[in-house]
Amino acid sequence: MRPPLFNNGLDTRFPSASGTPQSPSSPVNRSYNDLYSPKQRRMNPLGSSFGTDIAVDLGSPARRKPLSSFWSVKDKPRRFFQPNRYRYYHRNRWWLRPLFVVFVLALVFGYIPFFHLSLPNPTTSSNIQSTSQHRDQLLLYRIIGNDLPPRHKEGQTLSNLRFILEHEPSFPNTRKIYVLNRITDPVNEQAIIQLLERYNAEYLNIAFNETEYQRIDFRLEDFPEPDFLHSDDYRRFSKVAKLRALDYTYHDKNLYAMNNNGGRNTALAHGRSTGNAKWIMPFDGNCFLSQNAFDEIKTQLDRFGDDTKYFIVPMTRLLNNSDLLNSIDERPRSHEEPQIIFRYDAEEEYNLNMRYGRRSKLELLWRLGALENRKLNRPTVAWEPKERAYSKDKGNFRFIGWVYRLFSGNQAQEESKKEASSIRAFNRLLAIQSTLDALDERVARHTFRHDRLFLYNETELAHIRHRFWSEDPSILSSMSAFQRRVDEVLMHTREQLAPMAATDDIDHILDAGMSISNDQYPGISHPSLDTLGSLSRNITTLALANYLFGDEKYGRWAANLIRVYFLSERALGDQQSEYSTARMTSENTHLFEFLSDQGYSFPSLNRVSHVMPKYTDSKLVSTIDLSKTDLTVLLDAMRLLRRAQMLSHKEYAELQSIMAQVLEYLVAVPTGIHLAQMTDHRGVLYDLQVTALAAFTDDVRFLLRVANRCRMRIGKQFSKDGSQPYQDMSAHARLNGRQYDQSTEDAFLFHYRTLNLQYWTILARGIQNSGVAKDIWHYTANNQGRISHAVIHHLQQYSSIANDQEKQQRLALLSRLAYSAFTYSNTIEDDTRQDDIRQSKQQDWQWMDNYHKTHDESIGILAYFFI
């Protein structure tokens, strides 16, 4: 290699300072660096005014022979060898260039078909192996759900999550992701999120939507027979079997709120969408991985992962979480339901139709062949969903490692015993139903008020009152008749309660003592089997008169009836009220005039004394005729009297307590249980009684239970054409096989058919007025039986032949209640999918609307007041 030389020629990139054109330097004499280096080092960096710039060549290897060839010169000037270029080109093998072009074209067109045939199939194993080289990460998901006492201890989920975040080691090439699976309590959800963010943990949140949950209904029509929960077969079930049958009615609610397999599948979908994830571990929220357990799992995954898509991880239950901190980390005896690890390309998922507590994970284990202790397609009961067939990947699994399940809070449920397994199963069923009932109650309490009228609609009563005040001629006659009846009831009530009226002579009351025996007043007795119904009607009549006419004397004597017969208190006279100058107190002292206008008690919030002397204990519970007395009108009368301040808050609370005892009596005694199983009007009356009592006592959870389950009776009591086969059988049975003329038998059937429909319609209106449960008016059973259609069928059958006043009044009451029920149901979105049922509903409404317009309203109003 020759030494570098100085070239005095000018670089053409830098023009001469003097402006004299210079000849370019010869490319033949350029060095190696001149030809291949993109830069030259420029001298005179300060930009002096010298005439020339100096370029330094760094040298090039020695040339063995002169570069006389045209192709050997890289940077040729435009006119270099110009005169001789064609001759030069001809001399230097001009035919090589087209030959080279032909060769390249042949190569390209010959390779294209081969290229298409060799495209890899994305489903082939070779493609999986090549792609999986970029997938090497493990995704460990923890599905965090709601606490379900008594299956779990309250707050145990949050406690176990903290333990995992504090004590579980970090694993190499592993992402831990926590899935918040529809946490129903917003406060609990926020606490979990704050805990995760405190530890910088990654999480996904599957939100609970209360509006979506509210649209979900119970499954009531999939059992072998209508009204199955009151059937003989159900009564013969064991306690656990009954719980399982009830658990099925919550199926769709369970699927949404618990979202057991939905949360797992969300983790699987998220893991598959992660580009570098190879193994997806959707574990339960209380699972804990130790270092040794993870090491063994990772070793087995690396060893067998190319050929196996599913790995089964046995689980062991802990009785104390601190054992993980104190004992040796070694393989335990794991006999519990295992967890599953999925390779990213595994196609199986958890069955979304398997709810929590109903083989949600076992179904997939069976399909993979990991558990063979039970055959598939053999459900425990006929109405449960069937498991899917065996997976095409059956047998493609291995058992590896182990995982711990943290303590649930109840030691008796976590021990490795058969008894513990049974306790867990039983408590799980209780926990699911209790949690969903509490969730339904929480949603219902957004709008429910226990002081809202149950039977009577407040808007309708207000409309009638304003029409009366404005002297609407269409209702004046009926209101006049109602007032005459009210005055008769008032006169009878005054005569009846005169011996029990409290006087203004306080000393006389004190001398007589606070307790008065019934023997002193033989004319006054507790409600008996024959008088409770009439007593309820009298109280309701007076309470309605107080509301409609605005006369306090009606309300005062209605309240007196309640005090005497239900609260065992003394009656107040016409002139006695809270505004008297002295009041009775529990200390038997006077509040004198100068104190009556002081303190929080002024002005009074009530029209009666806060404390009234009692004369005996109430025995109401033992005197109710469960099959004859409807308490709904009485409960509405109590509400009206409380609003009018005719009953004090203490008295109203005591009435709620008494009615709570009545409700408990109806639910617990054998007579009540037997009535609930009746297939005629007595079963409907029972549902009506307990629903109204639950609403009055603010027992929303029990109200929802009865209001939802009572719909199961509809498919048994009503046929598609609106007939009532079981009610007719009950009516004929009451004839005791004796022969009667046709008119007597028809009257008998009319009475019991109308009575049954009246109870159903009142129940429907009560549920509508409460505004918390599903509307039963248009509920359609599997046999297409429907209350609304049965009422229309009954009115069509008897409206033209009702020739006496009593029948007309009963039909008028039924039609008025039905019209109100139709009006309410028309405001609800109809989710009926069958066109024939939707069309039938529309036809029934059109008939009802026309019937209401063409019949005298006054009869219906009077019947409405005297239910």
CA distances for 378 relative to 243, 250, 382, angstroms: 20, 21, 9
pTM for the structure as a whole: 0.77
What is residue 427's predicted lDDT score, i.e. its pLDDT? 86
Q: For position 608, what pLDDT does the model report?
A: 54
Measuring CA to CA, which residue among 721, 774, 625 is closest to residue 220?
A: 774
- Written as six digits, the tokens of 724 are 């009532």
Kindly give the pairing relationship between strand 336-343 and strand 310-317.
Answer: antiparallel
Residue 205 phi/psi, 5-degree rounding, is -125, 110
Q: How high is the pLDDT of residue 47? A: 40
Q: Pick from 595, 570, 599, 600: which is nearest to 581 by CA?
A: 595
Q: Of all residues in the chain, what percent are helix, strand and coil, respectively (each to 5)?
A: 50, 5, 45
For 393, which DSSP code? T
Residue 582 has pLDDT above 70, yes or no: no
Q: Which residues contact 512 (CB under 8 A, 6 or more apart)?
A: none
Say whether 554 sits in a helix, a strand or coil. Answer: helix
Mapping DSSP to helix (H, G, I), strand (E, B) and coil, where does residue 380 land? coil
Q: What pLDDT sits at residue 148?
A: 85
Structure tokens at 241: 């079997």
pLDDT score, position 606: 56
Please compute Rg for the chain using Cα positions: 45
Other Cβ atoms less than 10 A from the Cβ of 413: the count is 22
Q: Which residue has the higher pLDDT, 175 or 106?
A: 175
More confident residue, 29 or 724: 724
Report which of residues 157 and 37 the model is more confident about. 157
Query: What does the pLDDT look like over 399-443, one tens digit per residue?
Result: 999 999 998 776 665 666 666 677 878 888 999 999 999 999 999
One-letter amino acid of 736: N
pLDDT of 502 reads: 52
Q: How does the average pLDDT of the chain come out, rounded?
A: 79
Q: Which parts of 369-417 fold into alpha helices (H)?
A: 411-414
Residue of 773, 781, 761, 614 whose CA lies nearest to 681: 761
E strands, 506-596, in order: none
Instruction: Report DSSP state, residue 337.
Output: E
Altogether, the residues listed in the chain come to a count of: 867
Give SS3 for 410: coil
DSSP 8-state assignment for residue 101? H
pLDDT reported for residue 484:
93
Beta-carbon contacts of 165 under 8 Å, excluding residues fewer than 6 positions away, are 195, 196, 199, 201
List CB contacts of 366: < 8 A, sequence separation 6 or more: 372, 374, 376, 387
As beta bridge partners, residue 174 has 138
| pLDDT exceeds cutoff 50 at 115 | no
Question: Is 638 a residue whose pLDDT tops 90?
Answer: yes
pLDDT at residue 860, rounded to an integer: 80
Lowest mean pLDDT among 490-504, 533-547, 599-613, 849-863: 599-613
Assess whether pLDDT exceeds 90 at residue 693: yes
Nearest to 189 by CA among 137, 136, 134, 146: 146
Q: Please report the DSSP string for 594-647 in residue order.
A: GGTT-STTSS-S-SS-S---B-S---GGGG--TTT---HHHHHHHHHHHHTTSS
Task: Give the least confident one: 15-29, 367-381, 521-535.
Answer: 15-29
> Cα–Cα distances in Å, from 682 out to 380, 678, 687, 827?
34, 6, 9, 31
**Is the sign of the CA dihedral 711, 773, 824, 628 positive or negative?**
positive
**752 close to 731: Cβ distance less than 8 angstroms:** yes
Instruction: Using the structure block, give the residue that is written with the tokens 């802990």.
Output: 318
Report CA torsion sign: 30, 33, 38, 41. negative
Asked if residue 593 lies in contact with residue 583, where contact means CB atoms within 8 angstroms, the answer is no
pLDDT, tens digit, for every residue of 603-626? 555 555 544 455 444 455 544 566
Handedness of CA 37, 43, 47, 53 (dihedral sign): negative
Element (H, E) at 140: strand 137-144
Give the bridge partners for 501, in sequence order: 571
Q: Are 673 and 748 in contact (CB under 8 A)?
A: no
Choice between 30 and 188, residue whose per-residue pLDDT is larger:
188
The reported pLDDT for the residue numbered 583 is: 41
pLDDT tens-digit series, residues 319-332: 888 888 887 677 88
Considering 201-210, 413-422, 475-484, the range whose residues carry the highest mean pLDDT is 201-210
Q: Is 27 exposed, middle or buried (0-12, 13-18, 19+ CB in 10 A)?
A: middle
Place of tokens 């024939």: 836
Specify whether the backbone of 477 is left (phi greater than 0), alpha (psi in -120 to 50) or beta: alpha
Structure confidence by residue, pLDDT tens digits, 734-756: 887 677 788 888 889 999 999 99
- State the pLDDT at residue 17: 39
What's the start-to-end Cα distance of the chain, in Å?
Answer: 124
pLDDT band at 501 (very low <50, low <70, confident <90, very high): low
Indicate the range of 183-192, 366-375, 712-721, 740-749 predicted with least confidence.
366-375
DSSP-assigned letters across all residues of 77-88: -TTTT-TTHHHH
Alpha carbon distance 540, 538 (integer Å): 5
Distance CA 224, CA 574 (A): 61
Say what the pLDDT of residue 614 is: 52
Per-residue pLDDT at 773 exceeds 80: yes
Structure tokens belonging to residue 642: 């409380």
In order of start, what are the domains of the chain with their CATH numbers?
1-75 (no CATH), 134-440 (3.90.550), 461-576+621-653 (no CATH), 669-867 (1.50.10.100)
Q: What count of other Cβ atoms lies within 10 Å of the Cβ of residue 281?
A: 25
* Residue-wise burial string across 737-764, b where 16 or more C-beta atoms lie within 10 A, e elsewhere: eeeeeeeeeeeebbebbbbbbbbbbbbb
Q: What is the pLDDT of residue 340?
A: 97
Bigger pLDDT: 269 or 151?
A: 269
Say yes or no to pLDDT of 151 above 70: yes
User: How many angstroms separate the CA atoms of 248 and 634, rounded?
Assistant: 36
Between strands 202-206 and 277-284, the pairing is unpaired
Two structure tokens written together for 164: 């995992």
Listed range (38-42, 75-79, 142-146, 313-317) with the worst mean pLDDT: 38-42
When mean pLDDT is compared across 594-598, 636-640, 849-853, the lowest value belongs to: 594-598
Residue 405: strand pairing partners: 287, 317
Residue type, 651: E
Give the model confidence (pLDDT) of 791-827 as tens digits.
999 999 998 886 788 888 899 999 999 999 999 998 8
